[in-house]
Structure 1
Amino acid sequence: MTDPKPSMFLPLKHRDFAFLWTGQSLSSIGNAMFPIILAMVVLDRHSGATGLGVVLAVQGIALAVGTVLAASIGDRWRRTRVMIGADVVRAVGVAAIAIAPVHLNTAVFMVLVIAIGIAEGLFLPAYSAVPPRLLPEEALQGGNALSALSQYVSMVAGPTLAGLVIAGVGPGPALWIDVGTFAASLATLVFIKETDAANARDESPDEEETGGIIRRGLRDFNEGIREIRSRPWVGASIGMATVVMTFCVAPAFLAAPIVAEKSLGGSAAYGAAFAALGVGSIIGSIVGGKIRTSRPGTVACCGLFTIFGSVGSLAVLPLVGVLICWAIAGVGVTVFSILWMTALQQDVPDRVLGRVMALDWLGSQGLMPLGYAAAGLVAASIGTRDMLIVSAFIVLIAAPLPLLVRGGTTFSSRPAAVENEPAGTTV
């Protein structure tokens, strides 16, 4: 290859992305802290395991609802404005819980959890879709690698910080730290400038005659679906990710604490497994930012084969083997994520990118609660070990499926167009 290798740190030379990355690096620590703090708050409210399950399920559903809403508004409003609004809602919601975490009225508590979940669902697709408005195309891969790096460093640091603060002074101060991370995000977002061309709304001539917000939202949602269907590699990859996350990753996450307690040495082993996953993900962020290949789809899907080892290891390997497999999976999944996000940002038109990102998040994350519920039933029926073995082999079947469709190996619609159309034509 004569092209220079992409630099992971090139995006930081761009002022607006540097602001974005700095704020989100701090905010992602708060995001990683919140589930730990929320669990402790719920248990302190004497709600028990059942109550915790209800709260987590409600939050997951709210996140999915927010993602659906993002499919409508993500391309109509400035993406930074969507992110600012979501951060305001999350900061206010977490602050309200922090004021009286234990004595807060149950109905009010649930409303706040729902609001925080919806806001997060709005935020994530907008954040994924905003880099093309701030960076040139050659810097996108490095930008996605930096975002992944901060995310996975936070995945290790956030729960650790939450645990230390809760153990030392309780969940209330930990919640205020979370509020502070959202404030840091807001402080950087307000300084980001998107170009006028990027901010122009893509309105059809009959915009004022659409018959209301709901009809317009459905139209936007359907347009996102059509955009995905016009790119077979996008639809196949989202479908594959939905299967893997719902029927492989969710069962593994559900089974991990059970297996750790029964055969790996207890809760310390459970924590070590996620620490290994985080370390692997950090390495994957660095590797993913340096990869230069004409077949990113092939490389990305090969990375997902590592999930086979992480899921299967829980069924058959001792702790050392589990830690190695989870670290390797962290590398593979993160490489997939970086190449996948970069491909979407480069191939999907900006006017619909927010909708496509929202549908991607909905497919890969939205059915996780269903996966947890199904995994519990399957484990009760055939046993945890057999469930994990079945889930591991599902990975082997699902991971290569995107490679079988047009554009799957290149994660792009462009090569096929270049081969069949005059030079310079793109799809």
Structure 2
Amino acid sequence: MSTTASRRRPTWAGRNYTLLTASAVVTSLGSNGALIAAAFAVLAVGGDAGDVGLVAAARTLPLVLFLLIGGAVADRLPRHHVMVAANVLNCVSQGAFAVLMLAGEPLLWQMMLLSALGGTGQAFFGPAAEGMLLSSVDGEQAGRAFAVFRMAMQGSILGGAALGGAMVAAVGPGWVLAADAAAFAVAAALRAFLDVKHIPPRAPGGGLLSDLREGWREFSGRPWLWGIVVQFSLANAVVAAADAVYGPLVARDHLGGAAPWGLALGFFGGGTVVGALIMTRWKPVRLLFTGTLCVFPLALPSAALAVPVPVAVLCAVMFVTGVSVEVFGVSWMTALHQEIPEEKLSRVSAYDWFGSVALVPLATALAGPAEATLGRPEALWGCAALIVVATAAVLCVPDVRNLRRRTSRAVTGSPAADDRPEGVEPEVVEPEVVEPEVVEKA
């Protein structure tokens, strides 16, 4: 049976990759439904929009605080142990949330505490999971493997949100939270079977603080890393403000309500799936240059909302944006896999996650005052302009323009001369420095 199954899988879809993809789909289905369920759980016990925001902030704050520590821990300990422990924590916290909801009326502080535990688990899980995924594939098919993984993830995000919304309406938020807890339990069991024999033993280090200092040196020494981190810190922040604050308001005032806005978000999700599908075939040579060019369309939704355009045009804009953002996402993961030494992957991923979420709470908090001061259309045009300016600035970094795809990944993560395609000059990368990194851009 195992031989037959392995024959059916592509050569790049090894055991670890298959387990990681399957477990990620399971948790993504549960978690995206649970995000909806948590909001409705707060409302079901009499909470208002402010209480919903407090519960959401309780999850985000520990995620920001512990991400860099989570990356250092995942590079020091076996990553699959960190992943399983984080999944168990998420299972317990979501299970307790479900029990409180099904048994009666949970208090706001209880929901905030359990959400904070979930965010803490995610802070340790995220860097470990990305490091494990990046180390699970090798060779020139890595880009295709990442594209398939991201396609599965985007599909499960869409499915999880739709299924979660339907389940909340049918059986209530408590049972959706219970289903999420069960999903974490299943994922923890799958991840416990990951094979880490191929990963070299960790060399003794100088402690957690030393690892964090080393991570900062790695990060600050790579212009293409910190440049794209800054770019996406800004881009993700203004996109969050546009999507979470301005989008629903524009939909209410001009597009006909929540249903058209949900449809537009669905088209964005569909675009990400199509973008990942495209990247299973397309292998751009100039990874970061191509990917960064595909970030410019991220400004289009804010501009479309500023006009505002009809629903059909907005859906088309969101679809194109989803496609282009996913081209960047796959190119970025391929670049990290190619350039980052295996023992640094989780710290690099921690900077990626940190850059993705650090400015989001501030941007969403300032969205209302910005609208009151400038006006909604002006604030949205400002969001679009900031994305364009930040992306254009990143293209001024030579390494972003010059980094090229290689056919294989050196064991140390440094470029190997005989791995470069014929006629391709070596990248402008300083060999002594290694990289921690940057953003979650999709």
TM-score where L is the length of structure 1: 0.89
Is 1:396 the equivalent of 2:361? no
Change (3 A) 1:275 1:74: same
Take 1:357 and 1:202, find their aligned partners in 2: how far apart are those partners?
20
- The match for 1:284 is 275
Given candidates 218, 223, 233, the residue that maps to 1:232 is 223
- The match for 1:183 is 185
Shift of 1:296: 1.2
- The match for 1:17 is 17
Structure 1: which amino acid aligns with 2:120? I
Structure 2: which amino acid aligns with 1:168? A
Q: Which SS does the other structure have where 1:292 is aligned?
A: coil
Is 1:138 the equivalent of 2:129? no
Is 1:405 the equivalent of 2:407? no
Take 1:18 and 1:267, find their aligned partners in 2: how far apart are those partners?
37
Is 1:37 the equivalent of 2:29? no
Take 1:83 and 1:129, find their aligned partners in 2: how far apart are those partners?
11
- The match for 2:374 is 382
Shift of 1:288: 2.1
Structure 2: which amino acid aligns with 1:33? G
Q: Is contact 2:297–2:320 with CA below 8 Å preserved after alignment? A: yes
- Higher mean alpha-carbon deviation, 273-282 vs 358-367, is at 358-367
Shift of 1:199: 4.7
Q: Deviations over 1:247-270 (max 9, x none)?
A: 344334321111111101101011
Shift of 1:420: 6.9
Q: Is contact 2:134–2:345 with CA below 8 Å preserved after alignment? A: no
- The match for 1:320 is 312
Take 1:134 and 1:11, find their aligned partners in 2: how far apart are those partners?
12
Shift of 1:414: 4.3
Shift of 1:374: 1.6
Residue ranges of structure 1 left out of the alignment (5+ in a row): 1-8, 208-215
Q: Which SS does the other structure have where 2:152 is aligned?
A: helix
Q: Which SS does the other structure have where 2:399 is aligned?
A: coil
- The match for 2:436 is none
Take 2:385 and 2:107, find their aligned partners in 1: how far apart are those partners?
46
Is 1:306 the equivalent of 2:297? yes
Shift of 1:364: 1.4
Q: Deviations over 1:110-159 (max 9, x none)?
A: 22111001111211121111123322132321222122112211221111
Q: Which SS does the other structure have where 1:103 is aligned?
A: coil
Q: Give the length in aligned residue pairs.
A: 405
Q: Is contact 1:281–1:334 with CA below 8 Å preserved after alignment? A: yes
Take 2:10 and 2:249, find their aligned partners in 1: how far apart are those partners?
43
Question: How big is the alpha-carbon RMSD for the aligned residues of Structure 1 and Structure 2?
Answer: 2.2
Structure 2: which amino acid aligns with 1:365? V
Residue ranges of structure 2 left out of the alignment (5+ in a row): 1-8, 405-413, 434-442
Percent pairwise identity: 28
Structure 2: which amino acid aligns with 1:274? L
- The match for 2:438 is none
Q: Is contact 2:143–2:283 with CA below 8 Å preserved after alignment? A: no
Q: Is contact 1:297–1:403 with CA below 8 Å preserved after alignment? A: no
- Higher mean alpha-carbon deviation, 297-306 vs 99-108, is at 99-108
Q: Is contact 1:71–1:224 with CA below 8 Å preserved after alignment? A: no
Q: Is contact 2:58–2:113 with CA below 8 Å preserved after alignment? A: no
Q: Which SS does the other structure have where 1:29 is aligned?
A: helix
Alignment of 1:322-361 (within 5 A): 322-361=314-353
Q: Deviations over 1:20-53 (max 9, x none)?
A: 1111111111121121010001111212111111
Take 1:336 and 1:172, find their aligned partners in 2: how far apart are those partners?
37
Alignment of 1:125-274 (within 5 A): 125-195=127-197, 198-204=199-205, 207=206, 216-274=207-265
Q: Is contact 1:11–1:17 with CA below 8 Å preserved after alignment? A: no
Structure 1: which amino acid aligns with 2:49? A
Shift of 1:389: 0.7
Shift of 1:365: 1.8
- Higher mean alpha-carbon deviation, 120-129 vs 403-412, is at 403-412
Shift of 1:415: 9.4
Shift of 1:406: 3.0
Change (3 A) 1:250 1:74: farther
Shift of 1:301: 0.7
- The match for 1:100 is 100
- Higher mean alpha-carbon deviation, 112-121 vs 9-18, is at 9-18
Q: Is contact 2:51–2:108 with CA below 8 Å preserved after alignment? A: no
Take 1:420 and 1:152, find their aligned partners in 2: how far apart are those partners?
34
Q: Which SS does the other structure have where 1:47 is aligned?
A: coil
Shift of 1:10: 3.6
Take 2:133 and 2:223, find their aligned partners in 1: how far apart are those partners?
23
Q: Which SS does the other structure have where 2:141 is aligned?
A: helix
Take 1:253 and 1:11, find their aligned partners in 2: how far apart are those partners?
41
Structure 2: which amino acid aligns with 1:93? S
Q: Is contact 1:273–1:323 with CA below 8 Å preserved after alignment? A: yes
Change (3 A) 1:12 1:295: closer
Shift of 1:11: 6.1
Q: Which SS does the other structure have where 2:306 is aligned?
A: helix
Take 1:420 and 1:285, find their aligned partners in 2: how far apart are those partners?
28
Take 1:253 and 1:110, find their aligned partners in 2: how far apart are those partners?
20
